[in-house]
Structure 1
Amino acid sequence: MAHSTERLRRGAVAAAAAGMLVVPAAGGVAASASADTTVTSPTPPSPTDTATASPGQFQTLTPAVENELDAAVQQVMREAHVPGVTVGLWTPDKGQYVRTFGVADLSTKQPMATDLYMRIGSETKTFTVTALLQLVDQGKVGLDDPIGKYIGGVPNGDKITIRQLAEMRSGLFNYSEDPGFFKALTSNPQAPFTPQQLLAYSFKHPVMFAPGTQFFYSNTNLILLGLVVEKESGQPLGTYIKNNILTPAGMNQTLFPTGNEFPQPHAQGYTNQTATGKIEDTASWNPSWAWAAGAMISTLNDLRTWAPTVATGTFPNGTRMISAATQAQRLTTPPSTFPGAGYGLGIFDVQGWIGHNGSLPGYESLTIYLPSAKATLVVLLNTDITHAGSEPSTLFGEAITKIVTPNNVFALPAQHAGR
């Protein structure tokens, strides 16, 4: 959701971000995974029958519906000035839709492709919290333990619970909204940050509210949970996630970088969250500043695997990733700050779609699963610059779900973009 992203600050940065990517409109440039699905000038769409649609109903992906999706995605690209986007939509009985549009690199005009590695921002949170919940199942961590039991020096650490951190109800200030942090990152985007440095930016601010009384999206929460995973597992966070989540899931193209490494092939990313406010390419930026909250990298196919895995708590081979009882707690998603959307333990439910999105300078992603239709939607793009107050990943999610699941539309109010 818009709260669940890696934008550096709200306010001036978010406002400045709206509609400022000055690039050629990419809607007319399309490249697909194979020649038989290339999109250049889509046939005028045929309206889908939504009058009788019920919650969970999924439109069959006929050629007419595919044309409608092509047009909708390209319209968002034109309006939001998105250089390139990849969309994957899969169902067990209604067909699948996989497309790439636009360019991965504005300089070389390299087209987007389905095998590109992409930074996935806050989708990292789903992996970090999954690791935490595995430790809960092992009895090494208690969801209702105070964070002070594991990590010292946390404001209100004797009152804030592990559960409240995962649910974004801790009251801790979001370090990535600190002006000093923003200056430090944008003045030297390749510089590494330690978790302790990130926490220091947060802890110099007063606690915002009593724990459990409000929802407020804060990356600080995930830095603390990442440290808990490391302490109680005895492993670096990335190592634990690889061994206990990625490998069992068969996700061999997903990684937790330790620096600014970025496997090839990858898309270039474009942001205006910079020291000057001018657009820069961020592919070489070091995502250590987001660490457990947003540093990971993945691909379309791996995220296709992850969507149902995280939504059900079950690996593709049928074994449990986390216990059914713990998964049920995870999917208890009390309301956040706007209708139709709730946030549970490192995961959201927006109009029935379960998953997470991600946004950090230059990249956005959306990986969601609709259990009632067993449908997976993945969107990957190479800019985070907002349009009319909304993040482009949200605009794509809304445009696509309006067509295929008209009674389960992934929509978030524009005013909530930019966190």
Structure 2
Amino acid sequence: MRSLLIGLLATVLALTACTSTPDATTTTDTTANTPSSSSVPSGPASTAGDPMAASIAALIEQQMTDQHLRAVLVKVTRGHTTVLEKAFGESLDGVPASTDMHFRNGAVAFAYLGTLLMLFVEQGKVGLDDTIDRWLPDLPESDAVTLKMLANQTSGYPDYETDPDWTTAFNLDPYAAQTFESRIDYTFRRPVQFAPGKNWSYSHTNFMILGEILAKIGGRPLDELLSVNVLQPMGLTNTTATDTADLPAPVLHSFSSERRVTLGIPAGAPFYEDSTYFNSMWGVPPGANQSTTVDDLVTTATAVGTGALLSAESYDTMTGPHLLGFGKKEKACEPTCFTQIPAYNYGLGIVRSGDWILQNPLLGGYSATAAYLPEQRIAIAVAVTYLPGAFDDQGIEPNSADQLFRMISTVVAPDAAAPMK
């Protein structure tokens, strides 16, 4: 497991394991499924003869071969119309993937945290420039780090996930519980990377601390606050939190070879293990360890991308390109700090890429992307699992869900396609 920047897309979050399987080509077509009952409805499904849907399906089938993908779940909507909702490949050998299967959503939860923070700001409970010593006075620089700095990754706090000892410990026991306290201990074994607010660097630490503070502000456990204030109002009926490694049925199984180096598996030797139930609590605050479905993922993309729960001012604060041109490479924070550019710039819990608003987690053998293009009201949700050929000799895989989203965007919005990596 590690935290890397791949191209312009900030972190790779991977902790995984699996069983060998041949390339899967089974396809389950669900374009005729009943539409979502969410507060941001996806509308009626497209007809089977839709040429745009056929183009997207053909693209995915080709990329499954090219990128060694085991399963792909996809849903694309334009306004209230579903362009395509479909499952490709297999979850387990002989078990076709289906669009109702659940998978980890990782950093998608950061968009929910950003939304909850802005709701608290609107309610007058806090201000974005409030320093965190009000809640966690013992943390380094707590009298200078603000809520906004946590949400936009400018606090200077190191990422516990980049600590080699933490990575080794996780890979030796990927099922172990991850507490707030244990991760804080790993985080501050090292000094802060830069003075608060003076640079940008991706760090899971920021959202772990933000989640802890949001629970204190709201006076309830974070999972309850997110459910009542964000998930339910967005109409997310299949996005649930757990403090264990459990997943609701039916499950999209994930596989990986990313523990290869820690376990001393030589390059070239087969290594591919089932990573479905690795404990994904490691990357999120307690209360934000979630699973979801592709339908809820596209609903999330639309709700976050339109600011459905926020005022116009809060929506701009959360999703606007306010960090463009900010940040720089520094030795103290390599490789996770760099200048924010149009192809990749961070809001409050969200990523902007071109005109798209998104999150694109990669963890535990899953990759996923939830993306929205406001000007054309297009939402794209993709979830992916991998075959052995996707992993290099270090056990590292690409974020194929993000790559597929960008390819699909050239089909549905050729004049505003997401920048390619």
TM superposition score category, shorter chain reference: 0.7 to 0.9
After TM superposition, the structure 1 stretch with the greater mean CA deviation from structure 2, 380-389 or 61-70, is 380-389
The structural deviation recorded for 1:323 is 2.8
Answer yes or no: is 1:176 the counterpart of 2:161. Answer: yes
The structural deviation recorded for 1:208 is 1.2
Answer yes or no: is 1:378 the counterpart of 2:381. Answer: yes
- What does the per-residue CA deviation read over 1:10-61, in whole Å, with 9 as the maximum and x for residues that have no partner? xxx9xxx9xx9975333x332222689xxxxxxxxxxxxxxxxxxxxxxx99
Separation in 1, partners of 2:229, 2:341? 34
Structure 1 144/93 Cα, relative in aligned 2: closer, same or farther at 3 Å? Answer: closer
Separation in 1, partners of 2:359, 2:19? 24
The structural deviation recorded for 1:83 is 0.5
Structure 1 169/412 Cα, relative in aligned 2: closer, same or farther at 3 Å? Answer: farther
| Structure 1 unaligned spans of 5+ | 37-59, 315-320, 414-419
Alignment partner, residue 56 of structure 1: none
Alignment partner, residue 39 of structure 1: none
Q: Secondary structure at the match of 2:58?
A: helix
Corresponding residue to 2:10 among 3, 12, 24: 3
Alignment partner, residue 348 of structure 1: 351
After TM superposition, the structure 1 stretch with the greater mean CA deviation from structure 2, 123-132 or 321-330, is 321-330
- Is 2:52–2:83's contact at 8 Å kept on the other side of the alignment? no
Q: Secondary structure at the match of 2:69?
A: coil
Q: Secondary structure at the match of 2:107?
A: helix
Structure 1 386/311 Cα, relative in aligned 2: closer, same or farther at 3 Å? Answer: farther
Alignment partner, residue 392 of structure 1: 400
Q: Secondary structure at the match of 1:86?
A: strand
Corresponding residue to 1:258 among 243, 267, 273: 243
Separation in 1, partners of 2:59, 2:19? 20
Separation in 2, partners of 1:127, 1:395? 23
Separation in 2, partners of 1:61, 1:344? 38
Answer yes or no: is 1:359 the counterpart of 2:362. Answer: yes
Answer yes or no: is 1:403 the counterpart of 2:396. Answer: no
The structural deviation recorded for 1:391 is 1.4
Task: Tell me which amino acid in the other structure corresponds to 1:290.
Answer: G
Alignment partner, residue 33 of structure 1: 30
Separation in 2, partners of 1:67, 1:291? 37
Alignment partner, residue 323 of structure 1: 311
Separation in 1, partners of 2:304, 2:67? 30
Alignment partner, residue 284 of structure 1: 277
- Is 1:140–1:232's contact at 8 Å kept on the other side of the alignment? yes
Alignment partner, residue 22 of structure 2: 24
The structural deviation recorded for 1:324 is 2.5
Give me the identity figure in percent.
28
- Is 1:90–1:375's contact at 8 Å kept on the other side of the alignment? yes
Higher strand share: 2
Q: Secondary structure at the match of 1:84?
A: strand
1:52-67 → structure 2 map (5 Å cutoff)? 63-67=50-54
Task: Tell me which amino acid in the other structure corresponds to 1:350.
Answer: S
Answer yes or no: is 1:305 the counterpart of 2:305. Answer: no
Task: Tell me which amino acid in the other structure corresponds to 1:331.
Answer: T
- Is 1:61–1:94's contact at 8 Å kept on the other side of the alignment? no
Structure 1 76/239 Cα, relative in aligned 2: closer, same or farther at 3 Å? Answer: same
1:17-416 → structure 2 map (5 Å cutoff)? 23-26=21-24, 28-33=25-30, 63-92=50-79, 96-105=83-92, 108-274=93-259, 275-276=262-263, 278-292=271-285, 295-314=289-308, 321-333=309-321, 334-335=323-324, 337-383=340-386, 390-411=398-419, 413=421
Task: Tell me which amino acid in the other structure corresponds to 2:97.
Answer: M
| Structure 2 unaligned spans of 5+ | 1-7, 34-46, 266-270, 325-338
Alignment partner, residue 49 of structure 1: none
Separation in 1, partners of 2:237, 2:375? 28
Count residues in correspondence: 372
The structural deviation recorded for 1:410 is 2.5
The structural deviation recorded for 1:168 is 1.1
Provide the alpha-carbon RMSD of the alignment. 2.7
The structural deviation recorded for 1:412 is 5.2
- What does the per-residue CA deviation read over 1:89-130, in whole Å, with 9 as the maximum and x for residues that have no partner? 01137761112111111xx32111010011111111111222
TM-score (structure 2 length as normaliser): 0.81
- Is 1:6–1:122's contact at 8 Å kept on the other side of the alignment? no
Q: Secondary structure at the match of 1:326?
A: helix
Separation in 1, partners of 2:256, 2:166? 17
Separation in 1, partners of 2:130, 2:20? 49
